[in-house]
Amino acid sequence: DAGITQSPRHKVTETGTPVTLRCHQTENHRYMYWYRQDPGHGLRLIHYSYGVKDTDKGEVSDGYSVSRSKTEDFLLTLESATSSQTSVYFCAISLGSGRASSTDTQYFGPGTRLTVL
């Protein structure tokens, strides 16, 4: 299994509070991603990073920010959580060799279940 951990694994918070989710990898992979999974929507990319301090938006980035100050850590921040951000959040990593292939796919962490009341 790829060495990916997410913390916390479960969190309940209230509307309007800031929330930070952490993804940590031990694989030294270049790319890291944050997804959310919701019924009827599958997995949707929020933000991704292609190196330290290099990040870009995904398809559902509004209301989220990210930071990557070290290769191994990728943080997802909800500045002011809303009920629509209740979801399961997955971090993923990929080697970043240059092109997606069977030897350079995305490996996912165990997920964080976030509930915003």
Partner 1 sequence: DQQVKQNSPSLSVQEGRISILNCDYTNSMFDYFLWYKKYPAEGPTFLISISSIKDKNEDGRFTVFLNKSAKHLSLHIVPSQPGDSAVYFCAATSGTYKYIFGTGTRLKVLA
Instruction: Give the residue, chosen from 28, 109, 114, 117, that forms a contact with partner 1 under the rule CB under 8 A.
Output: 109
Question: Of the candidates 4, 7, 29, 42, which has an alpha carbon nearest to the alpha carbon of residue 105?
Answer: 29
Task: Report whether 66 contacts 34 (CB < 8 A).
Answer: yes
106 lies in the binding site for partner 1 (CB under 8 A): yes
111 lies in the binding site for partner 1 (CB under 8 A): yes
52 lies in the binding site for partner 1 (CB under 8 A): no
Question: Of the candidates 94, 58, 52, 89, which has an alpha carbon nearest to the alpha carbon of residue 73?
Answer: 52
Residues that bind partner 1 (CB under 8 A): 4, 31, 33, 35, 40-45, 48, 50, 58-59, 90, 92, 94, 96, 99-102, 105-111
